[in-house]
Structure 1
Amino acid sequence: MDLYRKVRLACAEGMSQREAARHFNVSRDSVAKMMAFSVPPGYRRTAPVKRPKLDAFTGMIDAWLDGVREVHRKQRHTAKRVFERLRDEHGFTGGYTIVKDYMRQRERCGREMFVPLAHPPGHAQADFGEAVVVIGGVEQKAHFFVMDLPHSDACFVRAYPGATAEAWVDGHVHAFAFFGKVPGSVLYDNDRCLVAKILPDGTRQRATLFSGFLSHYLFRDRYGRPGKGNDKGNVEGLVGYSRRNFMVPIQRFATWDAFNDYLEKQCRKRQADLLRGQSETIGQRLVRDLVTMSDLPAAPFDACDQATGRVSSQALVRYKTNDYSVPVAYGHRDVWIRGYVGEVVIGCRGEIIARHPRCYDREDMVFDPVHYLPLIERKINALDQAAPLVEWDLPPAFATLRRLMEARMIKAGRREYVQVLRLLETFDIDDLHVAVKKALQLGAVGFDAVKHLVLCHVEKRPPKLDLDVYPYLPRTNVETTSAASYMALMSEGRA
């Protein structure tokens, strides 16, 4: 640019272009261009690019590329594959570079253009993302729900073990509680947890659980075009923002609840941010969103998946490929199942008969050992091989109690030990543990004694172990004192 200025200045002061070319050691054409343009114009193509070897094949390339638009992107033609087909099938003699350049230019010209959108207050977008976290010492994939209010850029994020239908609904319930309001509409993609089917006219057939949720909160659901994430670009960007800013480095928490408390604090903290191009913080703009949103209903929606099943001969009920135990008394009966994000509730008629932590593995068995104790009491030989009891981590005092019972009564002692365990049908493990330790301390190794002691512990009254009431308590042999022994003591005293 400095040479450009000097040449123009010299010519303006009277130097001829021929003399300027000789003085500055540049061509006369360059001097003429410098005088024609005040700044360097750059390279300007005056004629279209000519590809004599490729031009005869461009129509064929276009047909190949247009004919596979519906094919998965990983199986579409690459420049290398197009070049090989032209060379092997049609005698193309050109090089790979001109084929690659043509395909790059064609793709660039065919890219979709977008219209900048304005977002009125009171509306939302929702989506799910994925990230790696460590929960309870186990590294696993977290599926996090994200709701964004595009007008204010306020957000809510909540993580789950799986992106299930009940997780979708539970995320909405917590998001609405977080904002304290219900948006006028929410924009989604066509996730199968929400949309069971897209009809030929473009309308959506909603999933059963999501349809009930919409009826409860009364807001409009809107959907983007299938495979077009740019239709809800705000929440798509927020998914990446949440992963980069809330989950880097990899977060470590003891429970999912602790992780979600952390995410909620981050969402509240972000409301103080002032984003590029805005004169107000997120929290200040959020006020306008909340003014136009609806009030929450009187009670939140019960975010659970509902199903039915039948209890098997092993007292198991199958839900989402996993088997959950129920009391053996309900064997072979029809039951109803409610799958929540964190637990599975099983009931029969109007009664809840079992609660289990939700399992997100496949083809696993979730046992409650107490469910099988009545059956084991009748089939006592199955005590040591019962699968529900294999991983039951009882305090050491229970193993001591069983050993003493079996030493006294052998098989009957094993059955009585199971009767002690059946007290867990009524009492907590902590209360029963205290009673077992007290029974071992007193030497009262028996079911009746343990039952009496746990009742006294719960009712906070002193125990009274009466042999007439509890005939199975171990008796103490008290010998009669002989006179000779007494006199021996007396004589030692005088000595």
Structure 2
Amino acid sequence: MLIVETIAKIRLAYFRHKKPIKEICRDLRVSRKVVRKVIRSDATEFHYERERQPLPKIGPWREQLDALLLGNDGKPARERLTLIRLYEELRELGYEGSYDAVRRYAKNWRKERGTVLAQAYVPLSFSPGDAYQFDWSHEVVILNGATVTVKAAHMRLCHSRMPFVRAYPRETQEMVFDAHDRAFGFFKGACARGIYDNMKTAVETIFVGKERQYNRRFLQMCGHYLVEPVACTPASGWEKGQVENQVGVIRERFFTPRLRFKSYDELNAWLLDKCIAYAKAHRHPEMGDRTIWEVFEDERQKLVPLRGCFDGFHAVSAAVSKTCLVRFDSNKYSVMANAVGRPVEVQAYADRIVIRQDGGVVGEHRRRFGRDETAYDPWHYVPVLARKPGALRNGAPFKDWVLPAAMERIRRKLSGSADGDRQMVKVLAAVLEDGLPTVEAACAEALCQGVHSADVILNILARRRDPGPPLTILTPDALKLRHAPLADCAKYDQLRSSG
């Protein structure tokens, strides 16, 4: 085959240097036929393609190989065999050719059937308030000096392209609920449809086509916000391409270089400000004369109005230990002493833990995300102190317990007496009946009187609880005056002179 350099030399020698064909053939060691072909065609490159490709080995096995390829192409993606496996099966039938021949034949077979297509997609268009897309991503940040991987919840309105991002320490269901609640609160409304991948916190079972069995609590959330959930086809991220694109943009523009914050609250406040600034600074991809924020302001009028916040918690049952502790997510939380011995329901929110028993709340704490941490509420253990007052001094729940100012002064004064712990327990127990503000006021009154005894404080509380009837003086009718006396200073002067 002629190379481009040889063709260029022939053309230069003939057309520019006016050399005869015989001399060109002698200098370049090519035939007259080749030189005449280059001169007459005026081409600078030649391609040779075989009109007919003989298949000496594959030919007798074409039908069997076509059947294997057709059957393999109809199987699900996870069950399809590789070409090596198909080649081995063909060898078992008696084929003696090479694997390369099978590979080339399979490539042409797919081209003829049109199964090897370019990655082409149909552009989508969404009306205002029609749909939003939701997804998660993992980002690396530095929180309070430690490098952690946060889970970023992404939501994007399909019409206006308005983004919303919030970081969480977990990717659990209660975080999904909180992300939706905060996103809809920011958008001031929801959309008619929500497009998701098949995340386990939303989808329990995948059926043929678009049929899904959704999680019961997830359906409750969608019903509350009047949203119709739509799940994508597995391994088809292009069906929610907008939020997939947002993940890359947010990672490049927001999380690079690595962010440094003290807490999740600071990080999320910064992310919200960045989303607003990004929307105000960038043009809408389809409406070039308007920004994303301007289109979003118009879309807000078409969103589904909110009907309050969804009570988004994840509930699990748990047992209460004899130390009044409940274990959840590798951490322990205290409950009221009267809950010991019976199961409770732990309602986990994104930022707090609520523990219920028989419909009532027996414990509520700020959620911990570490491991083997214990969250105490000292008031849960006050009823136990009535039987074991000595635990007040060394009990783990009472370490670093900050009491109101007056009660703390009473505690310090009682610590010097022999029965100080027992007296302080009586004062603390009164809080369960009278309330903390009332007991704090009684302690302050006792200190003003110069005493700090528990009996005095309890007496003050008893008087406030039952002050008794008001003191009234009744005058009998016989002693009531009929006429008002008149003032006579002369009688007073007469008494002074006689004295």
TM-score, with structure 1 as normaliser? 0.68
1:414 maps to which of 387, 402, 421: 421
**How many Å apart are 1:200 and its aligned residue?**
5.8
Letter of the aligned partner of 1:215 in structure 2? Answer: G
Work out the CA distance in 2 between the residues paired with 1:20 and 1:68: 61
Work out the CA distance in 1 between the residues paired with 2:110 and 2:258: 37
1:373-402 deviation line (CA, Å, top 9, x unaligned): 331342245456645456x5769x999997
Q: Which residue of 1 aligns with 2:246?
A: 238
Letter of the aligned partner of 2:168 in structure 1? Answer: Y
- Relative to structure 1, is the Cα distance of residues 471 and 181 closer, same or farther in structure 2, using a 3 angstrom cutoff? closer
Matched, 1:358 2:367: yes
**How many Å apart are 1:267 and its aligned residue?**
1.3
Work out the CA distance in 1 between the residues paired with 2:200 and 2:83: 32
Q: Which residue of 1 aligns with 2:377?
A: 368
Letter of the aligned partner of 2:136 in structure 1? Answer: F
Matched, 1:264 2:248: no
SS of residue in 1 equivalent to 2:167: strand
1:2-21, aligned counterparts within 5 Å? Answer: 7-8=10-11, 11=14, 17-21=21-25
Moved more, 379-388 or 112-121: 379-388
Q: Which residue of 2 aligns with 1:341?
A: 350
2:133 maps to which of 113, 121, 125: 125
Alpha carbons 1:153, 1:282 under 8 Å: kept: no
SS of residue in 2 equivalent to 1:119: coil
**How many Å apart are 1:414 and its aligned residue?**
3.4
Alpha carbons 1:370, 1:424 under 8 Å: kept: no
Matched, 1:176 2:203: no
**How many Å apart are 1:258 and its aligned residue?**
1.3
1:63-78, aligned counterparts within 5 Å? Answer: 71=78
1:377-430 deviation line (CA, Å, top 9, x unaligned): 42245456645456x5769x9999978755531xx33344556777887559xx
1:74-473, aligned counterparts within 5 Å? Answer: 113-122=119-128, 123-199=131-207, 202-271=210-279, 272-274=281-283, 279-283=288-292, 286-287=295-296, 290=299, 293-306=302-315, 311-319=320-328, 322-333=331-342, 335-348=344-357, 351-360=360-369, 365-382=374-391, 386-389=395-398, 392=400, 405=414, 407-409=416-418, 412-416=419-423, 427=436, 455=444, 463-467=447-451
Alpha carbons 1:124, 1:187 under 8 Å: kept: yes
Alpha carbons 1:121, 1:289 under 8 Å: kept: no
Alpha carbons 1:154, 1:282 under 8 Å: kept: no
- Relative to structure 1, is the Cα distance of residues 204 and 86 closer, same or farther in structure 2, using a 3 angstrom cutoff? closer
- Relative to structure 1, is the Cα distance of residues 419 and 44 closer, same or farther in structure 2, using a 3 angstrom cutoff? farther
Letter of the aligned partner of 2:163 in structure 1? Answer: C
Q: Which residue of 1 aligns with 2:465?
A: none
Letter of the aligned partner of 1:413 in structure 2? Answer: G
**Identity score, percent:** 26
Work out the CA distance in 2 between the residues paired with 1:316 and 1:10: 97
SS of residue in 2 equivalent to 1:170: helix
Letter of the aligned partner of 1:219 in structure 2? Answer: V
Work out the CA distance in 1 between the residues paired with 2:14 and 2:159: 58
1:427-474 deviation line (CA, Å, top 9, x unaligned): 59xxxxxxxxxxxxxxxxxxx9xx568646xxxxx951344977789x
1:217-247 deviation line (CA, Å, top 9, x unaligned): 2132211112322222221222232223211
CA RMSD of aligned residues (A): 5.1
Work out the CA distance in 1 between the residues paired with 2:214 and 2:186: 25
State the aligned residue count. Answer: 438
Q: Which runs of 5+ in 1 are unaligned?
A: 429-447, 457-461, 474-495
Alpha carbons 2:162, 2:296 under 8 Å: kept: no
**How many Å apart are 1:260 and its aligned residue?**
1.0
**How many Å apart are 1:214 and its aligned residue?**
1.6
Letter of the aligned partner of 2:232 in structure 1? Answer: G
Q: Which runs of 5+ in 2 are unaligned?
A: 458-499
Alpha carbons 2:188, 2:300 under 8 Å: kept: no
Letter of the aligned partner of 2:151 in structure 1? Answer: H
**How many Å apart are 1:304 and its aligned residue?**
2.4
Work out the CA distance in 1 between the residues paired with 2:401 and 2:48: 79
**How many Å apart are 1:155 and its aligned residue?**
1.3
Letter of the aligned partner of 1:324 in structure 2? Answer: Y
Greater radius of gyration (CA): 2
Work out the CA distance in 2 between the residues paired with 1:45 and 1:281: 56
- Relative to structure 1, is the Cα distance of residues 364 and 232 closer, same or farther in structure 2, using a 3 angstrom cutoff? same
1:54-112 deviation line (CA, Å, top 9, x unaligned): x9899599799879966599xx9797x9999999xx999979xx599869969997666
Alpha carbons 1:316, 1:324 under 8 Å: kept: yes
Work out the CA distance in 1 between the residues paired with 2:386 and 2:109: 74
TM-score, with structure 2 as normaliser? 0.68
Work out the CA distance in 2 between the residues paired with 1:285 and 1:3: 62
- Relative to structure 1, is the Cα distance of residues 382 and 208 closer, same or farther in structure 2, using a 3 angstrom cutoff? same
Letter of the aligned partner of 1:283 in structure 2? Answer: I
SS of residue in 2 equivalent to 1:174: helix
